[in-house]
Amino acid sequence: MKLLVVLSALVALCASHAIPTIPGDNSHYVEGESRYIWMPDGEGKPVLVDLHEPVDEALLQTRNGANNAYWLFTRNNQNNAQVIVHNNVNTIWGSNYQGSRPLKVIVHGWNNNGNTAMNPLITSAFLAVQDCNVIVVDWRALANSNYNTAAAGVPSVGQHLGNFLTWLINTAGGNWNQVHLVGFSLGAHVVGNAGRQTGNRPARITGLDPAGPLWGGNSNALNANAGQYVEAIHTDGHLLGIFNPVGNADFYPNGGKNPQPGCWVSTCSHGRATELFASSVRTNHFVGRRCGNVWEAELSSCNGATFNMGNGIVTKRGSGLYGLLTRNAWPF
């Protein structure tokens, strides 16, 4: 009899939702309300994230932006990184960095690192079309902590990146009008902070599906004040990405949300922004049409003026919301 009473109490407790329900997927996720969400790990496999998990303050003290690693790639070393260490001038002089070249900077997201597929994909695209310096920022020391801790450390990662770029250009040459920062997910907010740290000097900043959870209304999020021109490509809005406009120009391929064409796993749509951007750098074939509002963008019913999405043109300038349709496989 006592066992029956205990079992009945447990059933009642579960029915009252005292124990949070863990979802099987993200279909019922509501930003700002849901506790759990599935996010991709470094290999794209879904990982359950608890958005109520406490920030590890002790870890933030040791794994902040001071641990950023800066990997240089050029046409002379397309596959082998040369590490430039902040405040160590010998690491610049011993590298292939040339201040006369345009500078591209790529920043990964949560649970990723400098070797994650998006980095060589975008690096090779830049180097295929332009003789430039490409710096991949590896911030894995913090990015591979729990999501809430990594998100809390984004401002520090971005500020250290901004200070590094200022030192690099002041020491070895460069032109802010030839600097293009590209960040994916949490990395999009990193480059936003980096741009603001430099006094908004980068010519162009591109946010690839800027991370959504914990970033709505966050003053540290990517915004149009981070650089001379800020562009965002939204592919998983309302879930892993922010849906509302954050830049001078915001693009919403295929409605800007899940599922993107060819995506059968919910976490696929988030990473699609990196693939679309890499393809756009190589061929610049994505043509958006201006939307009257964000609802038109979500419905892909925009028919205004044309403006190309993505590409690596550092002098690119524009404003507004744009919708377009893509195919389901590379080059999309």
Q: What is the separation, in whole angstroms, between the first and last Cα of the chain? A: 64
Active-site residue among 95, 145, 156, 185?
Answer: 185
| DSSP state letter for 257 | B
Active site residue 25: no
| DSSP state letter for 211 | B
Active site residue 185: yes
Q: Is 318 helix (H, G, I), strand (E, B) or coil?
A: coil
Active site residue 50: no
Q: How far apart are CA 137 and CA 213, in angstroms?
A: 22
Q: How far apart are CA 165 and CA 168, in angstroms?
A: 5
Active-site residue among 95, 160, 270, 280?
Answer: 270
Q: How far apart are CA 148 and CA 142, in angstroms?
A: 11
Length of the chain, in residues: 332
Q: How far apart are CA 189 and CA 167, in angstroms?
A: 21
Q: How far apart are CA 134 and CA 124, in angstroms?
A: 9
Active-site residue among 138, 209, 236, 250?
Answer: 209
Structure token digits, residue 164: 């590094």
Q: How far apart are CA 239 and CA 38, in angstroms?
A: 9
Range list of H helices, the chain: 2-15, 57-62, 89-93, 118-129, 140-143, 147-152, 154-172, 186-197, 268-283, 294-299
**Amino acid at site 166:** T
Q: What angle do CA 135, 139, 142 make, to 5 degrees?
A: 170
The residues carrying an active-site annotation are 185, 209, 270
